[in-house]
Each structure stands twice: as structure tokens, then as C-alpha cells.
Amino acid sequence: MKPNLGRIVFLLTVTTITGQWFEESQKQNSPRRTFFHRIKADNHRQPIRECPDVKGQVWRFCPTADADGIWKCIRITNLCDGQTDCPDGSDEDETMCTFHAI
């Protein structure tokens, strides 16, 4: 009978721990999210957009959106040309233009 008693104690312990864990997880304000759930949620926040595909021209997104949250596309030839095309002027950033000139 002692081996059965050990099994009962083990099962009671596991049941108690599992019940406590479940109660704690239910008390959390935010649902538990796995890595893949975060990726899925993040993909829905930022819809995939593409710059125009014009023959002979290469377009790229500006690194930041404008005040309305719209991502502007500029021609790659407009990078480091002395005229600000991106909302924050990042297309004329001194560091980036140094590497762009190489």
C-alpha cells in the first residue's frame, strides 16, 4: 500500500502546483503570448507596402514616416543629392551620405 500512497501524494502535489500556476496565469492582465504570436501581431500592425516598380528606376522607403504615419518612397538617385526628400531629412544624413558616396 505504501507505493500507492506515494503515487497519490505525487499526483496531489502536481495537481496543486498546476492549479496554482493556472490561477496565476488567469490573474495576469495581458494574455500570455508566445514568440510566434508576437510575430503574427507585429505583422498585422505594419501592413507590407511596396515602392513603385518603374522600369529603370529604383525606389526605396524613407527610414521614418511623416506626421500622418505615411511612409514615403523616394528614388535612390534622390539620396544625398542636397535636397531633403524624406520627412525627417534622413536622406541627406551626413553619415549615410558618406557611405553612399563610396
Say if CB 73 and CB 52 are below 8 A apart.
Answer: yes
How far is it, in rounded angstroms, from Cα 30 to Cα 69?
27
Whether pTM exceeds 0.85: no
| pLDDT at residue 92, rounded to an integer | 92
CB atoms within 10 A of CB 55: 4
Query: 56: closest CA among 37, 39, 76, 41?
Result: 76
| pLDDT at residue 42, rounded to an integer | 47
| pLDDT at residue 35, rounded to an integer | 42
How far is it, in rounded angstroms, from Cα 84 to Cα 64?
13
Q: ∠ CA(34), CA(13), CA(24), 5° rounding?
A: 35
| pLDDT at residue 18, rounded to an integer | 46
- Walking along the chain (102 residues) 10 residues at a time, the average pLDDT comes out as 54 50 47 46 53 86 85 90 92 84 64
